[in-house]
């Protein structure tokens, strides 16, 4: 019983972290058809900004988090301006933007490397103590991550369903031309989506680095997992992405407990390949009819 509680607790924490970074990616793909390969670098950047404001500038945690969200949101905007905006509507947009964001990610990662060095640093935002359920100790850090993720997901859902911006984002995702004809400024929506995704990446980066440690290339693995979750859910499907993130978190925790850390990721990938052969458009994706 204790083992089950332990697995569920760590699985939910993992899933919550994945969900926060996946929703941003999924939103970007859903509205722009853009795979943002600089997302991992944004995760690292968010973690480092929070660390820097708290240690070097001596600010409280909340300022650190807000600074990270603001900076990553701006960098997200910059990604839009430098890579996606000049290519919008060109024939090979998806390929081009993918390659360009790889370049952007490399730049951000290397700037971090030059400023903070290659050695791992502990994230300063840590919440001490733990909660005891049965015989299982669950760190408050994990509880916090889960709570923040839940709040963020609810906020995102409200934003997408209720607000004017959310309606515009969904309209653009469904049909760009129609939205444009209805007076939606598509360019602004795209910029907003990338800034939003940058902010989410910052929070996700702080979460990841508080459990592991800060490294300039720490974003690579979470980004790949986020992409896998997007694929399993069907690219661009935000609700599906949250469900898939939690499910994959639980699955990963189970695999790690039963098989050890080193094979869990490989097995996870194998499962994803099977899913894709069975349903090439993702578990929750709709089959798309391609018109020639």
Partner 1 sequence: MTPLRRDVVVTLILVVLAATVPYLTSTRYIVTQTTLFFIWAIVVTQWNLVLGVAGIFSLAQMALFAAGAYTTAMLGYYWGVPIALAMLAAAIIVVILSVIIGLACLRLRGPYVALLTLAIAQMLYLLIVNDTDCFTNPPSGCMPLFGGVRGISRFGDLGFRALLGSKWYIAHYYLGLVLLALAIIVSIVIIRGPLGLAFQALRDNPGYAMSRGISRFKYQLWVFAVSAFFTGLAGGFYAAQFAVVGPTVFSLSQLLLLLSMMVVGGLGRIWGPVLGALLLMLADEGVRELGDWRDIGLGLILILFVVLFRRGLTGAFEDLWRRLRPGKPLTAPGS
The residue among 42 and 125 lying less far from partner 1, judged by its C-beta, is 42
Alpha helix positions (H), the chain: 2-32, 39-55, 61-79, 85-87, 93-116, 140-162, 164-174, 176-181, 186-211, 220-233, 238-259, 261-278
Token duo for residue 8: 């569920």
Q: Shortest distance, CB of residue 235 to partner 1, whole angstroms?
A: 7
What single DSSP character describes residue 218?
Answer: T
Q: How far is CA 10 from the centre of its chain?
A: 18
Element (H, E) at 136: strand 136-139
List the interface residues with partner 1, window 130-169 (CB under 8 A). none
Of 8, 88, 157, 276, the residue at the interface with partner 1 (CB under 8 A) is 276
Count of residues that interact with partner 1, criterion CB under 8 A: 47
Residues forming a β-bridge with 132: 137
Residue 233 binds to partner 1 (criterion: CB under 8 A): no
Of 10, 227, 238, 241, the residue at the interface with partner 1 (CB under 8 A) is 227
Residue 212 binds to partner 1 (criterion: CB under 8 A): no
Of 4, 57, 74, 99, the residue at the interface with partner 1 (CB under 8 A) is 99
Residues forming a β-bridge with 130: 139
Q: Which stretch binds partner 1 (CB under 8 A): 68-76, 111-119, 173-181, 242-250?
A: 111-119
Of 7, 9, 35, 45, the residue at the interface with partner 1 (CB under 8 A) is 35
Token duo for residue 277: 């052969």
CA-CA distance, 124 to 108, in Å (whole number)?
21
- The site for partner 1 (CB under 8 A) is made up of 29, 33, 35, 82-83, 86-87, 90, 92, 94-100, 102-107, 109-111, 113-114, 217, 220-221, 224, 227-228, 230-231, 235, 261-262, 265-266, 269, 272-273, 276-277, 280, 292
């Amino acid at each position: 019983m204790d083992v089950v509680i332990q697995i569920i607790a760590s699985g939910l924490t993992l899933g919550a972290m994945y969900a926060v970074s996946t929703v941003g990616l999924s939103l970007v793909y859903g509205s722009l058809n853009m795979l943002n390969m600089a997302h991992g670098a944004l995760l690292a950047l968010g973690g480092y900004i929070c660390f820097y404001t708290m240690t070097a500038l001596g600010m409280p945690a909340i300022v650190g988090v807000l600074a990270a969200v603001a900076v990553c949101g701006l960098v997200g905007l910059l990604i839009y301006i430098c890579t996606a905006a000049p290519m919008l509507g060109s024939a090979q947009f998806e390929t081009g933007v993918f390659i360009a964001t790889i370049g952007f990610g490399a730049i951000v990662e290397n700037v971090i490397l030059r400023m903070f060095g290659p050695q791992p640093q502990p994230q300063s935002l840590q919440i001490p103590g733990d909660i005891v359920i049965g015989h299982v100790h669950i760190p408050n850090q994990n509880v916090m991550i889960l709570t923040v993720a839940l709040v963020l997901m609810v906020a995102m859902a409200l934003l997408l369903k209720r607000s004017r911006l959310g309606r515009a984002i969904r309209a653009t995702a469904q049909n760009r031309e129609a939205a444009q004809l209805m007076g939606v400024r598509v360019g602004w929506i795209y910029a907003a989506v990338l800034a939003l995704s940058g902010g989410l990446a910052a929070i996700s980066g702080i979460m990841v680095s508080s459990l592991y440690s800060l490294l300039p290339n720490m974003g690579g693995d979470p980004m790949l997992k986020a992409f896998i979750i997007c694929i399993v859910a069907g690219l661009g499907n935000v609700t599906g992405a949250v469900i898939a993130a939690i499910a994959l978190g639980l699955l990963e925790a189970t695999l790690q407990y039963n098989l050890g850390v080193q094979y869990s990721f490989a097995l996870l990938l194998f499962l994803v390949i099977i899913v894709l052969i069975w349903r090439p458009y993702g578990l929750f994706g709709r089959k798309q009819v391609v018109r020639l």
